[in-house]
Amino acid sequence: MAIDDDIRRQFDESLATKQAAAAVLVPAISAAGRLFADILQNNGKILSCGNGGSAGDAQHFSSELLNRYERERPGLAAVALSTDTSTVTAIANDYGYEQVFAKQVRALGRPGDGLLAITTSGNSPNVIAAVHAAHEQGLRVVALTGRDGGRLAPVLRPGDVEIRVPSPRTARIQEVHLLAIHCLCEVIDTLLFGAR
């Protein structure tokens, strides 16, 4: 049946993308997890942002830190910048959608904090603006991207970390982003609270 074959193909493509990502992304994910653990250990917080499915991923990461990942532990300081609809719509109305995250980063971000910037294409203007604002405020950045890194890649500075999924397909990139987020949570928990 064609539908069943289509479903199997989706699984096969997902597995192949994850295998290709594992071959190149482990050092970047490890570096990002260490960076975030250091920020949190030094009383910093992690802001996160993205659009659409990437907004969902930003919220997912924030909730894993604030509540817990897979073990009982104290909550960790994290804020997803896409969750406050009153703020997002006010900024979009008054300043334009490109500023919805950047204005929040300027208001909430402090030197020593971090930003998780998620964009599958690397070309989301509001995410790029948030990275610029993060740099202005003294935040370190972890970027989850795909394809060729888009316009965001050259904006990153030394000390920032890019986790770029080696795939041209948005769905496959998002699947690896979610896995990378879970890996970041595991690294943070291990470094801050010890191995399970």
CATH number at residue 175: 3.40.50.10490
CA separation for the pair 169, 171 (Å, rounded): 6
Work out the average pLDDT over 140-158.
Answer: 98
Structural domain span for residue 156:
2-193
pLDDT for residue 1 is more than 80: no
pLDDT of residue 195: 83
Work out the average pLDDT over 157-161.
Answer: 97
Q: What confidence tens digit (pLDDT) does each residue in 88-134 have?
A: 999 999 999 999 999 999 999 999 999 999 999 999 999 999 999 99
pLDDT of residue 170: 97
Q: What confidence tens digit (pLDDT) does each residue in 67-86 have?
A: 999 999 999 999 999 999 99
Backbone torsions φ then ψ of 62, nearest 5 degrees: -60, -40
pLDDT of residue 192: 97
Q: What confidence tens digit (pLDDT) does each residue in 32-68 have?
A: 999 999 999 999 999 999 999 999 999 999 999 999 9
Helix ranges (H only) for the chain are: 2-41, 53-66, 85-95, 102-108, 125-137, 170-193
Tell me if 176 sits within 8 A of 21, measured CB to CB.
yes
Work out the average pLDDT over 175-194.
Answer: 98
- Nearest Cα to Cα of residue 125 among 148, 159, 102: 102
Q: What confidence tens digit (pLDDT) does each residue in 4-42 have?
A: 999 999 999 999 999 999 999 999 999 999 999 999 999
- The model's confidence at residue 196, banded by pLDDT at 50, 70 and 90, is confident
Give how many domains the chain has, as a whole number. Answer: 1
